Chains A and B, each alone.
Chain A
């Protein structure tokens, strides 16, 4: 079992086998995380590939105070958030096909009989990408607030607030908000 330091040293020495084993170890969690973040399977695969390429290229610049996993998650998060921002811009100027058909042409979709999973997914989509990233890292990947703070370059208090804000908004979107007037 290699420690982070040994792995980083091997990577810095451009050891292809060490890099291969690192990718094999982390590809599933990273792709999964990006998939949950961007909501597109193919894009997640593409971003994960870019993430690992970036890791290979920039391993020499890895911050000393950060664990290897946190650093890779940081790169993946940056790629994911950049994709989401660009997607927003593209749809803003009608470059993405977000077409609004008239109801008379619309076909009843599965939303009518939505299950919990679909509702959860929709509620998560309504969050700000940065808040959603915090929720994904915390609930999905089990990172603590301190670790998320390292990944996103935030203080643990800021992460705590973001998670709380995300949960509140999620609850409001999902419709499970506690009654205001008791």
Chain B
């Protein structure tokens, strides 16, 4: 059958001369299969009749259609809760707003799901998690990034939240935060300050481990633990690790890279003993990379990153459990780095 395959240079040809060795392009074949309007439909259909290769392709396209269409039709038949009342309420509400409030509402809608909102939601999520931990609440985990939360939020962030509450229905719920709603400018200023801070953080190589070669090491201000370190040897012979703090009494970090990963300078750090569903900040000093993570139901977290620059090895990795305010540190040395230094 290999003689049916056209030469590579004619495979994607869009020439309309479908003589021997010339084939219509895939999009034309698909359009023909899907019965879409084509200027040269007769020519193409004639070619498909005569060419086994194109027939085969058309058959494949039909198979794809048979796979895609039922799936999408099935989804199409799904019933969604009607939003008509919500939309009408929102329109009525916006009519009652002053010009300034309407501008703020438009701004909120514009920034919805943006980086700006994400940052604010992130901060709020951490605050909420901390409050949950303080109250000993171990219930259902609520994603800190959900933009659709209806819970009232403290401070000026409530103004931004009411942007998310566009779809939350009754206007009365939105009026539950009148103070912050009356002060959208303050909210915007706070949000802008947070954004500026985050942009500064992002512009520095803090969040870009692969380009950390030019990073100036400025360790973040995460509190260090003052316990006496108790060094423990890693299972992996190519690394030396030590975990401070009493054994099994708090969060712990271990290196769980495989030998193959170590050879490729890929570092995997596994942590355990953290607050369940609590926020954990893992900081790699030297590279100045911060990995925000949420512990799972067993209180474990994991991070993976590649060490591109041996200047900062041995690496010091610190995990800060935001809920219990406890810190643990792990030092990782890579043999490959020490050997490359000797060379």
Contact = CB atoms under 8 A, between A and B. Distances in A.
B184 to A, nearest CB: 19
Interface residues of A, number: 71
Contacts of B180: none
B60 A35 contact: no
Contacts, number: 185
21 contacts: A23-B87, A23-B88, A27-B80, A46-B166, A46-B167, A50-B109, A53-B90, A53-B94, A83-B113, A86-B114, A90-B145, A94-B291, A95-B145, A97-B144, A104-B270, A105-B300, A120-B67, A121-B71, A145-B37, A176-B63, A182-B1
B207 A156 contact: no
B75 A56 contact: no
A67 interface: no
Contact of A56 (B91, B114, B143, B301): B91
Nearest to A94: B292
Interface in B285-341: 291-294, 296, 298, 300-304
B80 A32 contact: yes
Contact of A102 (B4, B30, B71, B302): B302
Interface residues on B, range: 35 or more
Interface of A: 16, 19-20, 23-24, 27-29, 31-32, 35-36, 41-46, 48-50, 52-53, 56, 82-83, 86-87, 89-90, 93-97, 99-102, 104-105, 116-117, 120-121, 135-136, 138-141, 144-146, 156-157, 160-161, 163-165, 167-168, 170-171, 174, 176-178, 181-182
Nearest to A174: B67
Interface string B20-33: 00000111101100
Given A46-B167, A93-B202, A140-B76, A99 B2 contact: no
